Structure 1
Amino acid sequence: MRPIMAMQVTIFPGAGICIGNSATHVVADGVTFSHFMKYWMSLTKSSGKDPATVLLPSLPIHSCRNMIKDPGEVGAGHLERFWSQNSAKHSSHVTPENMVRATFTLSRKQIDNLKSWVTEQSENQSPVSTFVVTLAFIWVSLIKTLVQDSETKANEEDKDEVFHLMINVDCRNRLKYTQPIPQTYFGNCMAPGIVSVKKHDLLGEKCVLAASDAITARIKDMLSSDLLKTAPRWGQGVRKWVMSHYPTSIAGAPKLGLYDMDFGLGKPCKMEIVHIETGGSIAFSESRDGSNGVEIGIALEKKKMDVFDSILQQGIKKFAT
């Protein structure tokens, strides 16, 4: 069984250090881990001073998990399913051959242009968030890249094939029958949601609009529902996602502020989410230059990465210029 959390610091003499970490989502979600790292950062910068005399972020807390009301005992059933699925010994993930990583950045101007295009094309003219429009644009570009393989070309007539994207919604302050969960809560407080869009819509002229509308609708549906009551169906949705062509998920988020972490040596030069090489995930963070843009990490085979880069640049010219 994998360790709950592991950390490693590698020193590159005369160049800098790399802080590597791994944590299972049984223990923490992205919000929790970001807060934990920022608290550790603040302690490091305090130079050993008494924490009581230093202005620090709020201490991560886990005692408030008793505040979560679960009248339907959803948690017990979910835990039982988790252990049954993870009781077998799993081999470690192996990175596919010819895999390369690349980081792309959408500037604030490009994102604003994307938002304007989607709003103009939308029937209800509703504004769209930075997260939604960026995710929609990158997902469309990725799917267009992946469907160019020989297997999918042989099935081009199947325009009603559905592609699935997994998103996560922060449940803090959104659980019914429960007191507000503080942002400093140490644990996993996320709910998964599956966004489904037909192939012909993701490849059509208004592909970004179709993806954006689907993501927005799924988020609104989740926020308006009793999230704990939907928990028994999470596994069903995840299985549908896993069995589909090119299941895609998200790692990180621009709002986490990962580039603000300064341990006293300066802000990070680069942040990488390693598991995107094996998990089919798109990595998101704020842009490292502080320009309010979004940084996107992708891992693909070299040949497909070249195709993705080309499709992305074409999309920027069409939708974001």
Structure 2
Amino acid sequence: MVNFNSAVNILEVVQVSPPSSNSLTLPLTYFDLGWLKLHPVDRVLFYHVPELTRSSLISKLKSSLSATLLHYLPLAGRLVWDSIKTKPSIVYSPDDKDAVYLTVAESNGDLSHLSGDEPRPATEFHSLVPELPVSDESARVLAVQVTFFPNQGFSLGVTAHHAVLDGKTTAMFLKAWAHNCKQEQEALPHDLVPSLDRIIVQDPTGLETKLLNRWISASNKKPSLKLFPSKIIGSNILRVTYRLTREDIKKLRERVETESHAKQLRLSTFVITYAYVITCMVKMRGGDPTRFVCVGFASDFRSRLNPPLPPTFFGNCIVGSGDFDVKAEPILEEGEGKGFITAVETLTGWVNGLCPENIEKNMLLPFEAFKRMEPGRQMISVAGSTRLGIYGSDFGWGKPVKVEIVTIDKDASVSLSESGDGSGGVEVGVCLKKDDVERFGSLFSIGLE
């Protein structure tokens, strides 16, 4: 039976350090600095393992986490920015007893309910992810929480500072940790060993300095790592997962090919899925057709740079794109999926603009755009990706039955990931008020008929 009044009890908080290792200082790049004061990214992975005991679970996770941190030393460290340093750096020092804080908890809730697709209160997930301590001069990089559900399984909550690692690095770390837990003494595969080289990121235009100056201006003219405040989430916000099957995506792609007169459209799974979600979101809100909508997404630039960065580059290498002033009217247009076609054509233009020459413009634009936007403007953005392979995180007890990005309830973003069943579909996560859930769900279903 579903326990809607479930409680999560913290049993202990332990420090997990890598095996004996040297200290490390890793400066942030401009890719990192673009996310300096934005909220961390919270993920929770659910595993259904009824026969598992808490003692064996925690023992294996702790020892494998320690082994993994030897390759991912920055995650055991702190982000540091004081008045002496010109820019923030990640510092790991065994002398300062730097470590990852691992919270061990137990819940009497229903794991199947939490890991389902149906509407669930967004606040139910907050107690499954740990917080990151942040001050003006220092911030923890990573925190982990293991919540045991007796006779059901466990959840793994991971909170990552966005200025230190992007989704690809987070997924790489989780799969490396899972590998070490499952395979124990077997060496990490090459594609899970991170590259910590920062010299390869060139900054010919001084973008780092421009970003730092803007962050300092936003922090009372002084260096500060304190994050922008996040909005308080009430009990009226529901988390829901919608799914597009491989066949759904194929039909939507064929609809664009038939109805659009534009040439050389980008019809990737991402473009088709996000365009469909944008269409449903804008129509869900309705309202004045002359209103503006802010639409954005972030793209991995590792392979887009010249020369490219290695696929295993540690840190951020994502750049935002989109438009802060999208007109709602063309997307609201009815008849033969015209709004969806418009969204695909618009997204194509943004994807075509993903080139190194536009990095500086795209990274500096938000500072000015957010100042002039009117309150209440609809904002749509993406968290996650269908290419991260996050469902490959098998710690030895099988793949996760569900992965959620908890923080989408803070910034009106939608989460995208590959389907956990390996069918080639896409999972779309949203957090909305009850009435909006009903409207969005109806639009989502009708558009696929």
C-alpha change, 1:98 and 1:215, in structure 2 (3 Å) is: same
In the other structure, the counterpart of 1:274 is 406
Q: Secondary structure at the match of 2:181?
A: helix
Question: Conserved in 1, the CA contact under 8 Å of 2:236 and 2:433?
Answer: yes
Equivalent of 1:9 in 103, 124, 146: 146
The one-letter code matched in structure 2 to 1:60 is P
Instruction: State how 1:100-111 maps to structure 2 within 5 Å.
Output: 100-111=238-249
1:85 aligned residue: 218
Q: Is the 8 A contact 1:39 1:57 kept in 2?
A: no
Deviation at 1:232, TM superposition (A): 3.4
- 3-state DSSP class of the match of 1:272? strand
What is the deviation of 1:58? 3.5
1:236-269 Cα shifts (integer Å, max 9, x gaps) = 3455678561111101011111111101010001
Q: Is the 8 A contact 1:119 1:126 kept in 2?
A: no
1:172 aligns with 2:286: no
Distance change (3 Å), C-alpha of 1:202 and 1:254:
same
Q: Which moved more, 1:101-110 or 1:159-168?
A: 159-168
More helix by share: 1
With structure 2 as the length reference, what TM-score do the two structures score? 0.63
Structure 2 counterpart of 1:162, one-letter code: F
Match of residue 62, structure 1, among 196, 204, 209: 196
The equivalent residue for 2:76 is none
- Please report how far the alpha carbon of residue 230 of structure 1 lies from its aligned counterpart in structure 2 after TM superposition: 4.9
Indicate the residue corresponding to 2:73 in structure 1.
Answer: none
Distance 2:417 2:152 in 1: 24
Deviation of 1:80 after TM superposition, in Å, equals 3.0
Aligned-residue offset at 1:303? 1.7
Alpha carbons 2:284, 2:436 under 8 Å: kept: yes
The correspondence for 2:281, drawn from 142, 147, 157, is 142
**Residue 202 in structure 1 maps to residue 331 in structure 2:** yes
Offset, 1:40: 1.2
Q: Which has the larger radius of gyration?
A: 2
SS in 1 for 2:322: strand
Task: Work out the CA distance in 1 between the residues paired with 2:373 and 2:178.
Answer: 37
What is aligned with 1:182? Answer: 310
Aligned amino acid, residue 5 of structure 1 = L
Once the two structures are superposed, residues 180-202 of structure 1 have per-residue CA deviations (whole angstroms, 9 ceiling, x without a partner) of 21111111111111235311111
Q: Shift of the alpha carbon at 1:82?
A: 2.6
- Measured at CA, do residues 238 and 112 of structure 1 come closer, stay the same or move farther in structure 2, by a change above 3 Å? farther
Deviation, 1:73, is 1.0
**Deviation digits for residues 145-203 of structure 1 (CA, Å, limit 9, x no counterpart):** 123xxxx3xxx3xx332212111121113234xx3211111111111112353111110
1:27-47 deviations in Å (ceiling 9; x for gaps)? 011111111111111111122
Deviations 1:4-42 (A, max 9, x none): 221111111111110001112100111111111111111
Distance 1:240 1:268, change over 3 A: farther
Give aligned-pair identity as a percent: 31
Equivalent position SS for 2:404: coil
Residue pair 2:196, 2:313 contacting (<8 A) in 1 also: yes
Please tell me the residue identity of whatever aligns with 1:167: F
* Residue in 2 that maps onto 1:98: 236
C-alpha contact 1:197 1:214 (8 A) present in aligned 2: no
1:39 aligned partner = 176
User: Number of aligned pairs?
Assistant: 302
Residue by residue, what CA displacement relative to the aligned partner does 1:297-317 show, whole Å, maximum 9, x if unpaired?
A: 011111210111111111111
Quote the Cα distance in structure 2 between the aligned partners of 1:21 and 1:136.
29
CA RMSD of aligned residues (A): 2.2
- Structure 2 distance, partners of 1:237, 1:219, is 20
Q: Tell me: higher relative CO, structure 1 or 2? Use CA pairs within 8 A at least 6 residues apart.
A: 1
CA contact (8 A) 1:167 1:194 kept: yes
CA distance in 2, matches of 1:230, 1:107: 32
* Closer/same/farther in 2, CA of residues 263 and 242 from structure 1, 3 Å limit: farther
SS of equivalent residue, structure 2 residue 353: helix
CA distance in 1, matches of 2:190, 2:304: 27
One-letter amino acid of the structure 2 residue matched with residue 296 of structure 1: V
Structure 1 residue runs without a partner (length 5+): none
TM-score normalized by the length of structure 1: 0.87
SS of residue matched to 1:95: coil
